[in-house]
Amino acid sequence: MYITTFYDGVAIHRAGKIIYGRFLEPHLVLSTCRVAGGMRRGLGYVLNHQSCEPCNHGRRLALRDPERYRREICAPHGLPPEQCATMGTAANMHHAAFVRESFQDLEVGAVITGGVETNAGRAGDPASVHETADGFIRLDRPQAAAEEPAPGTIKPGTINIMLFIGHPLTEAALTRSIITATEAKTAALQELAVNSRYSDGLATGTGTDQVIVAAPDRDGFRLGWAGKHSKLGELIGRVVLAGVKEALAKQNRLTPMGQCSARIHLERFGCSRQSLRQGIADHLEGETAEVLKENIDVIIRDPLVVAAVAAMVHLRDKIAWGILPSSCRQDIMAAAAAQLACALSGRYDLAASYRDALAGAASHADNRRFLALCHRAMALGFADKWADGA
């Protein structure tokens, strides 16, 4: 099925479980594809293929024999394998984003699929495999708080980007465009507050992200820079930022409004809905605890509560990164936790007493005690929410 054409140079089609770009003129292509990857001339097609389901369905052929994998996905659609650069993903092709931006005679188009709920990670997270001449060896690693499968497994979830630039580029500029696109992808995850599944950090991508970037390969002037100061870099950033957000909204229902949740902001520290519910209730008594349990979903999505939790998380990160001194941890976190209690109770006149009550629990750095501080602050606020005279 024909979908669209970018800059009269590449036609985009969907066929079954693949989306492919058919070049209408010669293109210079740079990609991370396992077959026909790197810098290439002479390709006729680039494609993205749904090779598995997001859960409990492996991609053994794609990993074990990528040449055969390419042949088997190209043949049913009449695509010559030797002219194709291919990417694989668990994302549904029907959830792809098609985005374009232009300035004067320069057009940039992107086709992006994405899924991050199970495989989002932060650069520098513990690795799960090590590649040797005999293949990949699984590594044991500390299990992250938000991670459920056994250590050493690679979970589905990938952001695949096909980027098409409607003006010839130097090889250096084509390479630089991948850096700009990657920064834009990470910016999208940052704006969506996507948690790493392998550490207590925010995600910068997934463990299996791939990219293809292509530009016409013809004589004449070639753009030589794709950094953020150039208009080309701006267009790349805009299409990738918008495309990643759109694809994740379609695939994972991941939207800014959906991320307005105290639980989601605390998830990377080991928080689940049940543990948050019970952790707060443990500091309450009788009917108050039951009311809290019955209304937990409303409470954790209150914008003022989310703002206060987000502030606590942000301050915790700043201390962990060394921007704020750890010697000030107790004062900083006690004041922030007091604001969380105020957000729940509406009693900002009690901020000082909340701060004093929470100070003893605010000096610890580990994740478990950070969550305990959040639980305690929310319980203090909830206990006063319906107090007489409030």
Same domain, 153 and 295: no
The C-alpha atoms of residue 163 and residue 211 are separated, in whole angstroms, by: 8
What would the two tokens of residue 162 be? 């096909």
Question: Would you say residue 27 lies in a domain?
Answer: yes
pLDDT for 142: 62
Q: Among 228, 252, 276, which residue terminates a domain?
A: 252
- Tell whether 54 and 162 lie within a shared domain: yes
Phi, psi of 100 (to 5 degrees): -140, 150
Whether 78 maps to a domain, the answer reads: yes
CA distance 39 to 44: 14
52 and 165 share one domain:
yes
For residues 126 and 301, what is the distance between their CA atoms, to the nearest angstrom? 32
Residue 150, pLDDT score:
38
Q: Is 259 exposed, middle or buried (0-12, 13-18, 19+ CB in 10 A)?
A: middle
Looking at the fold, whether 119 and 234 belong to one and the same domain comes out as yes
The pLDDT of residue 153 is 44
pLDDT of 57 reads 42
Nearest to 195 by CA among 274, 369, 313: 313
The per-residue pLDDT for 54 is 54
Which residue positions in the chain have pLDDT lower than 70? 53-63, 141-156, 388-390
- Report d(CA 242, CA 262) in Å as an integer: 25
In a domain, 273, yes or no: yes
Looking at the structure, tell me whether residues 7 and 117 fall in a common domain.
yes
Q: How many domains are contained in the chain? A: 2
Whether 96 and 247 have beta carbons less than 8 Å apart is answered as: yes
Q: Are 182 and 277 members of one domain?
A: no
Please indicate, yes or no, whether residues 294 and 331 belong to a single structural domain of this protein.
yes
Tell me, yes or no, whether 229 and 324 share the same domain: no
Q: Is residue 152 part of a domain?
A: yes
End-of-domain residue from the set 232, 252, 272: 252
d(CA 161, CA 174): 14
What pTM did the predictor assign?
0.91
Report pLDDT digits (tens) over 323-381: 999 999 999 999 999 999 999 999 999 999 999 999 999 999 999 999 999 999 999 99
- Within a domain: 117: yes
The pLDDT value given to residue 388: 62
Flag whether 390 is in a domain.
no
Measure Cα distances from 24 to 17, 41, 167, 180, 214 in Å: 22, 14, 14, 25, 12
Question: pLDDT by residue (tens digit) across 2-23?
Answer: 999 999 999 999 998 999 999 9
CATH number (domain holding residue 104): 3.60.70
What is the domain extent for residue 312? 262-385
Same domain, 63 and 180: yes
Of 206, 227, 252, at which residue does a domain stop? 252
Say how far apart CA 337 and CA 346 lie, in whole Å: 14
Number of Cβ atoms within 10 Å of the Cβ of 30: 22
Residue 29 shares a structural domain with residue 122: yes
Contact between residue 364 and residue 370 where contact means Cβ atoms under 8 Å apart:
yes
- Based on the fold, state whether residues 306 and 247 are members of the same structural domain: no
The answer to the question of residue 42 being in a domain is yes
* Token pair listed for 369: 């005690």
Both 193 and 81 in one domain: the answer is yes
Q: What is the largest CA-CA distance in the chain?
A: 80
User: How many residues in total does the chain contain?
Assistant: 390
- Asked, for residue 257, whether it belongs to a domain, the answer is no
The kind and range of the H/E element at 337 are helix 329-345
